[in-house]
Amino acid sequence: MKLFNRFNRDDLVINKKPLLPFLRFRKKERLYLSDRQPLTLMGILGLGLSYVVLFAWAFIIIWPLLQMVISAFNGKQGAYLMQNTNFEFSLKHFEYLFSETLYLTWVKNTLFISGATAILTLIIVSFTGYAYSRYRFKGRKASLMAIMLIQTIPTFAGITAFFTMHSIIASVIPQFTRQMMLILIYSGGAIASNTFILKGYIDSVSTELDDAAKIDGCSNMDVYRLIILPIARPMLTIIALWSFIGPFMDYMLPRVLLTNPQSYTLAAGLFTLTNDFRTMNQPAFAAGGLLTAIPIAVLFMLLQDQLVSGLAKGAVKG
């Protein structure tokens, strides 16, 4: 009221309308700390339902992982079945895994196949994605359509063709092993699918960068090496991770193509601990599955900075 004492009553009237209601409205408006209105009853119910669904989904994911961890370190766990028994910390299942199985050999085979698949996929996809994004050549649309249609065919449907291809190549190159054939299969599938992803990513990069580099005397290869690769590094990192993780998760193709236990991957090797009564040891299987996640987690932590490091590069200065 001290503010209003400085004015006469006539000063609070504008065009014969009192100014006081307007001031009261402005005073009430300041009570809101933000423009967001309070939740209604339906909004509260929807928010509660969202939390229930998220907690249920988290429980579905975490509960099997928790059981796997408990079984792997439970010394009172039987060798054949994973049962709810009293917990006693022990490493005997890990000792069995390293001493009684070919676990280290399976790890070596998987790392070799995964690393070779990731490197081969990364090299070829970086060229194909760049070519389909920046060049216009005859058969471009037809080849893209063919790649898309090939992806609809399940990989396992071509198992007969894979055996035939291996026989033909092995007759020419005796050193060509089934593991190398597996690398070609994984790489071929990854190249076809990831070409679309990288092409779409490079399409979002302005061609003005290419033109500016060519004015400075860069060739097409220099543009690819100096401009495109640094900008596309986050997407290339994701492609490398996907290609590396694939052989760790696949069971069917290694189990069919690799006939010697010495050449098994982790998925095929660990499965022998659950499907054969002579070698069955499900707690050891849980321990092996727990150790399998370590290389993937370490690789992700090492490369997570690369996922966003190239996003700020390639900006055109005005």
Secondary structure of residue 14 in the 3-state scheme: strand
- Topology classification of domain 102-271: MetI-like fold (1.10.3720)
User: Which amino acid type is present at position 58?
Assistant: A
Q: Is the pLDDT of residue 57 over 70?
A: yes
Q: What is the pLDDT of residue 12?
A: 45
What mean pLDDT, rounded, does the chain reach? 79
Q: Is the pLDDT of residue 104 over 70?
A: yes
Produce one character per residue of 288-303: b if its CB has 16 or more CB atoms within 10 Å, e if not: bbbbbeebeeebeeeb
Q: Across residues 110-138, what is the average pLDDT?
A: 91
Q: Which residues pair with 46 in a beta bridge?
A: none
Ranges of each domain in the chain: 44-94, 102-271
Q: Across residues 137-161, what is the average pLDDT?
A: 80
Label residue 145 by pLDDT band (50, 70, 90).
Answer: confident
Q: How far is residue 288's CA from residue 282's CA, in Å, rounded to a whole number? A: 10
Q: Which of 118-132, 178-192, 278-292 has the lowest mean pLDDT?
A: 278-292
In this predicted model, what pLDDT tens digit does every residue of 218-234 receive, in sequence order? 888 888 888 888 888 88
Q: What is the pLDDT of residue 309?
A: 55
Q: Across residues 149-163, what is the average pLDDT?
A: 77
Label residue 294 by pLDDT band (50, 70, 90).
Answer: confident
Return the percent helix, strand and coil in the chain, to nearest 5: 70, 0, 30
Q: Across residues 262-269, what is the average pLDDT?
A: 90
pLDDT above 70 coverage of the chain, percent: 81
Label residue 53 by pLDDT band (50, 70, 90).
Answer: very high
Q: Tokens standing for 101? A: 């199985």
Q: Across residues 2-12, what is the average pLDDT?
A: 47
Q: Across residues 163-178, what is the average pLDDT?
A: 85
Label residue 90 by pLDDT band (50, 70, 90).
Answer: confident
Q: Is the pLDDT of residue 73 over 60?
A: yes
Of the ranges 108-117, 169-178, 214-223, 228-237, the best mean pLDDT one? 108-117
